[in-house]
Amino acid sequence: MAEEKKPGKSKRVIIVIIAIVVLLIAGAGGTWWFILRPVTAPSPAQIAKEKLQNTKFINLGSFVTNLQSSNGSTHYIQVQIQLKTYNSVVETTVKSFMPEIRNGILMLLSAQNADKVSEPAVRDQLLQEIKRQANNTLETDGGVVKSPPTEKNPPIAAVYFSSFVVQ
């Protein structure tokens, strides 16, 4: 009788070993499939489509301030500014730091010379300065962090004037 039980036990051991080997192979295949298999990089068209879907314009409203004048007369500038971002979370952050962003923009606008601010090159430079100032405020949490992190994709992608009047 002892001889009859041994072949049954060895068959069970073989079946258990085969089951463990099959599970290990299936686990290795699953790991490769979900973690290690090469993933194709998105095409430029896919990136552009994703950016288009995530594009958000943030209205900062109207700004009115006086300008520097070389002849002593009083000149004013009135602009409406839009910020462009590809990250939907940035809008909430901009609203949190709106007073600081608006203050920085007003300081930039009031430092402009009334005779030169109407030139296209000066306007383009002003847009770049506004973008830099807004990104600096957002990236440093309003100046809490001493040096801004270097980032390829800043929170604000572009700045636009939706209205520009000099008097």
Residues contacting 115, CB < 8 A, separation 6+: 69, 70
Report the percent of the chain where pLDDT is more than 90: 41
Q: What is the pTM of this model?
A: 0.67
β-bridge mates for residue 57, sequence order: 84
In the structure encoding, which two tokens stand for residue 118, read together? 């109407």
Please state the rounded mean pLDDT for residues 74-100: 90
d(CA 78, CA 94): 21
d(CA 96, CA 94): 5
pLDDT tens profile 119-129? 999 999 999 99
What pLDDT, on a 0 to 100 scale, did the predictor assign at position 105?
A: 93
Residues contacting 149, CB < 8 A, separation 6+: 139
β-bridge mates for residue 83, sequence order: 58, 159
β-bridge mates for residue 158, sequence order: 84
DSSP 152: S
Please state the rounded mean pLDDT for residues 17-28: 92
* Residue 147: pLDDT band with limits 50, 70, 90: low
